[in-house]
C-alpha cells in the first residue's frame, strides 16, 4: 500500500529495521543516553528556549493534550480555545472534563482565524490559550505569529498542539513565547504511533512543578524528575523511542529541521501543481505543508477513498462526521517522493477515465 494519510505515515528503512528487532530492557545507562539525545534534538528542532524540558508520553497526541491541560490549568483559570474542527473540539472537551473555565472561538470548517476575531478578547481576564496550530481535520494552518502576538499582549500561557505541523511548517517556540508544544511520533517523525511529546518552556516547567495534578500517570512533575536521568516514571514504548532516536538523528544528518520542512514543502507544492485541472477544490483558507484538503466536485470523498484503497492499493485520508462525503485529505509527511505523488495523480486520472471522478 502507498500511504498518503496524515498518520501513521510511511517510515524510512532504518525506522522499520528497528521495529523488527527485539525490544531491549530500558532501565540502563544506554537507554538513558538515547532519551537524553531525544530530548536535546527535540528542543533543537522546536527552537525551544534555554531551560526547556521534554516529556515523552506513552500515549497518543490526545494523551499529551490532556496532560498539558491537567498540569497547566485549573478552575481558577480562564482559557480561550480555538475550535475549527475535530481536534480543536477535543481541547474543548478536555476543558469540560477537567472543569477548566473556557471560551470557545468556533470557526466554520476550512476557515482561518482572523485578527478581528481575537480583538474582542483583549484585556478580558483570560489566562491561557489553546490552539491546534494545524487543524488536521480540515487542513487549516492558523497564523501562529498573530496568535503569539495576542497572547504576549494579554500575558496568556500559550499551549500549541503541533502534532501534524511539527517539522512540516516553520515553528520557533522561543520567538513565539509558547509555553507548551505538543507533537507525536506518527507524523513528520515517521515512526509508529504510541509516543507523544510535550516540550515545556521554562514557564511550562514552572507551571507543572507548582500545579497539583490530580492524576498519577499524567503528573508531569514525576516525568520531569525522571527525565533528568533519561528515564520515564513508568514503562514507555521502548521500541518507538529507539525509532524516534534514529529518525531524529537522520533528520539532523540531513540538515536539521529547516531541511525537513523544505522537503515536505516541496512535496506539497509538487502535488498541488499536479492536481491542477482535476475536479477538486481546496477547502482550506490557509494550508500547512503537511496536508492538502480536497473537496471532489463530481464524486463522493468517501467513495474515492474506498476505491483507491481497494482497487489501487493507495491510502488517502478520509474524514468523519459531516465531512465524510465532501472532503478527503492527502498527506505529504513521511517516506514519500514526488514519484509517489505522480502515482496518486495518475490514479485520479484513471478514475476520471472510468467516469467515477
Residue 322 has pLDDT above 90, yes or no: no
pLDDT, one tens digit per residue, over 34-76 is 999 999 999 999 999 999 999 999 999 999 999 999 999 999 9
**pTM score, two decimals?**
0.96
The size of the chain, in residues, is 357
Predicted local distance difference test score (pLDDT) of residue 33: 98
The mean of the pLDDT values for the chain is 97
Residue 23 has pLDDT above 90, yes or no: yes
Please count the other Cβ atoms lying within 10 Å of the Cβ belonging to residue 315.
Answer: 19
Sequence-ordered list of residues with C-beta below 8 angstroms from that of 28, at least 6 positions apart, any chain = none
Residue 323: per-residue pLDDT: 87
Strand partners, 131: 160
Q: Is 227 helix (H, G, I), strand (E, B) or coil?
A: helix
Cα–Cα distances in angstroms (integers) from residue 219 to residues 59, 72, 153, 214, in the given order: 14, 11, 30, 8
As given in the structure block, the three cell numbers for residue 10 are 510511511
Ramachandran region, residue 316 (left: φ > 0; alpha: ψ -120 to 50; beta: rest)? beta
Give CA–CA dist 206/221, Å, rounded: 10
Task: Give alpha helix (H) positions in 76-161.
Answer: 86-97, 115-119, 144-154
Provide the grid cell at 164.
501534524
Q: Which pLDDT value is given to residue 61?
A: 96
pLDDT reading at 109 higher than 90: no
* Tens digits of residue pLDDT in 167-215: 999 999 999 999 999 999 999 999 999 999 999 999 999 999 999 999 9
Contact by Cβ (8 Å): 301, 351? no
Strand partners, 58: 195
Rounded mean pLDDT of 305-331? 94
What's the pLDDT at 60? 96
Q: Cell 495523480 sits at which residue?
A: 345
Q: Which residues pair with 140 in a beta bridge?
A: 135, 287
Q: How many CB atoms lie within 10 A of CB 225?
A: 13
Amino acid at each position: 500500500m502507498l500511504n498518503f494519510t496524515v498518520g501513521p505515515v510511511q517510515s524510512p528503512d532504518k525506522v522499520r529495521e528497528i521495529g523488527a528487532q527485539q525490544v531491549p530492557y530500558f532501565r540502563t545507562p544506554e537507554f538513558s543516553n538515547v532519551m537524553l539525545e531525544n530530548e536535546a534534538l527535540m528542543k533543537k528542532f522546536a527552537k525551544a528556549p534555554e531551560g526547556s524540558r521534554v516529556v515523552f508520553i506513552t500515549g497518543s497526541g490526545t494523551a499529551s493534550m490532556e496532560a498539558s491541560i491537567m498540569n497547566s490549568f485549573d478552575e481558577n483559570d480562564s482559557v480561550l480555545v480555538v475550535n475549527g474542527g475535530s481536534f480543536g473540539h477535543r481541547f474543548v472537551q478536555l476543558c469540560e472534563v477537567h472543569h477548566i473555565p473556557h471560551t470557545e472561538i468556533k470557526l466554520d470548517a476550512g476557515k482561518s482565524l482572523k485578527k478581528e476575531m481575537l480583538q474582542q478578547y483583549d484585556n478580558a481576564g483570560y489566562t491561557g490559550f489553546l490552539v491546534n496550530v494545524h487543524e488536521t481535520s480540515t487542513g487549516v494552518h492558523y497564523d501562529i505569529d498573530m496568535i503569539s502576538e495576542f497572547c504576549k499582549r494579554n500575558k496568556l500561557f500559550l499551549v500549541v498542539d503541533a502534532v501534524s505541523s511539527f517539522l512540516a511548517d516553520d515553528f520557533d517556540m522561543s520567538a513565539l513565547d509558547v509555553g507548551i508544544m505538543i507533537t507525536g511520533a506518527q507524523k513528520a517523525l515517521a515512526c509508529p504511533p504510541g509516543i507523544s511529546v510535550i516540550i515545556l518552556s521554562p514557564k511550562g516547567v514552572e507551571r507543572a512543578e507548582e500545579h497539583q495534578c490530580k492524576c498519577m500517570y499524567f503528573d508531569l512533575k514525576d516525568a520531569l524528575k525522571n527525565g533528568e536521568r533519561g528515564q520515564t516514571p513508568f514503562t514507555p514504548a521502548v521500541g518507538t523511542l529507539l525509532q524516534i532516536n534514529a529518525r531524529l538523528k537522520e533528520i539532523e544528518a540531513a540538515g536539521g529541521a529547516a531541511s525537513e520542512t523544505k522537503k515536505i514543502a516541496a512535496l506539497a507544492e509538487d502535488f498541488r501543481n499536479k492536481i491542477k485541472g482535476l475536479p477538486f477544490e481546496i477547502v482550506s483558507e490557509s494550508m500547512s505543508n503537511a496536508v492538502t484538503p480536497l473537496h471532489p466536485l463530481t464524486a463522493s470523498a468517501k467513495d474515492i477513498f474506498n476505491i483507491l484503497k481497494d482497487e489501487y492499493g493507495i491510502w488517502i485520508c478520509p474524514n468523519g462526521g459531516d465531512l465524510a462525503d465532501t472532503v478527503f485529505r492527502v498527506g505529504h509527511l513521511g517516506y514519500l517522493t514526488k514519484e509517489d505523488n505522480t502515482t496518486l495523480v495518475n490514479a485520479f486520472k484513471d478514475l476520471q477515465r472510468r467516469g467515477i471522478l
